[in-house]
A and B are shown apart, each in its own frame.
Chain A
């Protein structure tokens, strides 16, 4: 089956910061919406449907905050729905916008959202609440501990060291220093990362993403609309999603289908997106990747799940510079989730950044000649992997 082409015609993103005391939550959504509309030279009347990108309500401290955001996105009299797939929310929202257009229901759809993680007293307290209250929540489980435990198994399986983890931080901070929209833009050394305090062994402070505030918006349109209005666009040519089973403890022991060390379902999700886009050899065909990795160690299993390196082989290749700007396949040239995490829109920004890259508009962190890019988002404890292929 050949899928109809859906184009990206507008992108808006905030300059992400630790706090935005100058803007209320809907103000921040509106900021990104205005940037995307202005880039697309459209007004709100042209938008037929809104996909609202919003992860757990408790992060912004407003129940069903999509209600509060409805005016900021001009939702009145329009199709309007909210997507929440945890950390994958942003890419799931782009996918939902894509499906509106691909299904022929609409010609022009906007997805938008914002987050103010810095206003939350403790995001790990909120994220502790995503666990099963019966078997898991009696333990102080959080997203940091969940991925620290993935890192422990990855290190045990493939020999990753904490210096290897630090190398990912050094790479991404260097990339972020070139991106004016990134939150953490100060370059760091391996020694500085190693000297930062332990949060959850083996993860240290500098191995962690920040708590960012800012908004994101993207406008998608049908090929017919783009051609009729002679608009510039890049194209979403592959979309994939895949889930793993629920319990962490089922991804270890004996006879498991997926190891908690790896990102098995992310690999399946990428394979689905690649098949749809006709990508048969990602290492040759992919020019740039924005992979959701909120902690340094998780970039390794994400690179491998994307098929950009064999299992356990990404560590040596990051060290050799293969995934740095100037290397063969730059990964997270924007600095990635490790340098900016406004959770509700983080995975949307992965798609937006790849779209900017393949259209040659990424500015200081542009990957030269990029024509085909990939993006991913991870939500929950491996329940919501989303992936996309974006082409010029």
Chain B
């Protein structure tokens, strides 16, 4: 028998409030091109991206600490497949432990030729030194900066 289908598209706009901690963090990125973490007074660990409380001690964080711009790659991936509403491939992104931070923050890796997957992956190996680079025009978003191999 003939089986019919019906198409639907969800297109919903949300406006998310960032809260005090993330707002301060992104203002520093936007206005001063500087990345800050929050220190947990109890453990001394510096959380980047900054949170109002530590995931480990569950205590409030108490102090802003400037980190980076240097750091090292903790993990990465290179995407070669297109997905709806996500960037055009190929692109590389992953997580970097910035100098002075105890945790890793996500960002794109730029300046690496991704045409040959194996060669690109070798360049982005865990432990590779990178530096955060900032866009000239910044809006207060995670994509205001990215990482390049030093």
Contact = CB atoms under 8 A, between A and B. Distances in A.
A249 interface: yes
Interface residues of A, number: 45
B68 interface: no
Residue from A138, A197, A249 whose CB has the most chain B CB atoms within 10 Å: A249
B142 to A, nearest CB: 4
Interface in A11-33: 21-22
Contacts, number: 136
A132 to B, nearest CB: 9
B103 A201 contact: no
A152 interface: yes
B5 interface: yes
B32 interface: no
Contact of B104 (A122, A150, A253): A253
A200 B142 contact: no
Contact of B86 (A22, A140, A246, A248): A140
A254 B74 CA distance: 10
Interface residues of B, number: 51
A253 B74 contact: yes
B10 to A, nearest CB: 7
Contact of B97 (A22, A198, A254): A254
B3 to A, nearest CB: 4
A99 interface: no
B14 A252 contact: no
Nearest to A153: B75
Interface SS, A side: loop
B137 interface: no
Interface string A107-151: 000000000000001101100100001111011111001001110
B45 A149 contact: no
Given A140-B87, A149-B77, A252 B104 contact: yes
Nearest to A127: B83
Interface of A: 21-22, 58, 61, 121-122, 124-125, 128, 133-136, 138-142, 145, 148-150, 152-153, 156, 197-203, 245-250, 252-257, 260
Interface of B: 3, 5, 8, 10, 14, 16, 18-19, 22, 43, 45, 47-49, 55-56, 74-81, 83-87, 91, 93-95, 97, 101-108, 117, 120-121, 125-127, 141-143
